[in-house]
Structure 1
Amino acid sequence: MVATAARARRQAFGEGFALFAECLLTGAWFALAALPVVTVPAALAAASRHLRAYTAGEPASWGVFWADFRAAWRGGRPAGLATTGAALLLLLNLAVLAQEGVPGRAGFALATFAVADLALTVLLRAAADWEPGSRWRDLSAAAVEHTRTDAGGTGLLLGGVAVLAAAAWALWLLAVPMAGCLVGAAVAVRRRRLDREADAGE
């Protein structure tokens, strides 16, 4: 009995470490695909689908990732442009708030970061649900609803985004592996939501 429990713990540790390593690798793939910035939603979608396939024991390779990325980009150009526009607006807002003499700039800066955190959380939820042929408008609408109704999952993703921002602030290279872990968190939140919905439907 003790030996069996020890083997189970070793197996669980090995599987958990393998998943962590896959998240790090996915972060590197995501970073490459997201370099043009406008491709961030498509890169997130491909990364999420890769980790979903990996955890389900389905084929998960660079070739499959690239095929998913191209499919997500073909149908996600408007989402990419909207994300890029929002990022530029955020940077412009922060540049203004960085100037001396702006009244209430600390509060406005905090509000800006909070809105950016929430927006990225919604994007992560939408990307985690992406399938070939999905419409980003529908994915975004569903993600907003899930963000509102799944407070626990939303809190996890908000915290994950904050950790990613802090890690990147400390050392920008950490953003690459942390991005993969954040995508893994989005996939886990999605899986938890689907399990809860399945239990509620029984």
Structure 2
Amino acid sequence: MTHAPAPPRERREPGEVFGSGFALFADMLLVGLLTSLAALPVLTLPAAFRAATATLRGTARTGVQISARAYVGQLRAHLTARGLAAGLLPPLLLAVLLVDAALVRGALPGAGLMGPALALLALGAAVVGLRSTARSAPHRLSPRAALLRSAADPRGTLLLAGAVVLAALLAWSMPLLVPLLPGPLAFAATVVELRAERDSEQT
């Protein structure tokens, strides 16, 4: 009895982390939608992004296209008490930023400088948060460790900052894309961390 030959795996270019073509685009759309749904309770936001990056790591390692079942399995693994406690940080930070923004709009001394400072603070918090969720499972980063890693890898930090700015511009100009944006953000964070890990192994 003869077996049909297995379909050839997609060939990757040297240095390419993920496969190219439409499959990658479809994977990012699926991850974006699943992450948006999983993050709806707000407290599950870190777990949702951890599941997204872990799923993307899996497809980078095996070349298998992402499935909803794989994402749900990762989400269940990351829905821990510690993960839910970490979910308190984003709304608390958002509340602080909103209060500060309201104060900036008032006639306070230095209000012109506080606006850009708050924008940079929000951008930095987003980058550090993404890096903290993109590490492999045995090496999860605390916010402090993610901050130190961001400072030690300025190239990756700038790339992630650019991804966050682009996502914010897309959300502002085309709100219908908001449910899909977590996918590219998780993808960017995963690629930055994979390349940082590869560089650290080579040194």
| TM-score above 0.5 | yes
User: 2: CA distance between counterparts of 1:160 and 1:92?
Assistant: 26
1:190 paired with 2:181, answer: no
Residue 66 of structure 1 is matched in structure 2 by 72
TM-aligned CA distance change 1:110 to 1:60, over 3 Å: same
User: 2: CA distance between counterparts of 1:83 and 1:8?
Assistant: 39
User: 2: CA distance between counterparts of 1:60 and 1:42?
Assistant: 18
1:119 paired with 2:122, answer: no
1:82 paired with 2:119, answer: no
Write the letter of the residue equivalent to 1:49.
Answer: A
- Alignment partner of 1:41: what SS? helix
Residue 15 of structure 1 is matched in structure 2 by 20
Q: Is the 8 A contact 1:20 1:181 kept in 2?
A: no
* Segment of structure 1 superposing worse, 162-171 or 181-190: 162-171
Residue 32 of structure 1 is matched in structure 2 by 37
TM-aligned CA distance change 1:170 to 1:115, over 3 Å: same
Q: Is the 8 A contact 1:27 1:178 kept in 2?
A: yes
Query: Aligned to 1:154, which of 149, 152, 157?
Result: 157
- The Cα shift of 1:16 comes to 3.5
User: Aligned residues, how many?
Assistant: 188
- The Cα shift of 1:130 comes to 4.7
Query: Aligned to 2:52, which of 44, 47, 53?
Result: 47
Identity of aligned residues (%): 35
- The Cα shift of 1:90 comes to 1.5
TM-aligned CA distance change 1:16 to 1:151, over 3 Å: farther
User: 1: CA distance between counterparts of 2:113 and 2:40?
Assistant: 31
User: 1: CA distance between counterparts of 2:136 and 2:79?
Assistant: 12
Write the letter of the residue equivalent to 2:25.
Answer: F
Write the letter of the residue equivalent to 1:163.
Answer: L
User: 1: CA distance between counterparts of 2:68 and 2:163?
Assistant: 25
Write the letter of the residue equivalent to 1:42.
Answer: A
C-alpha RMSD of the superposition: 2.6
1:180 paired with 2:183, answer: yes
Q: Is the 8 A contact 2:27 2:66 kept in 1?
A: no
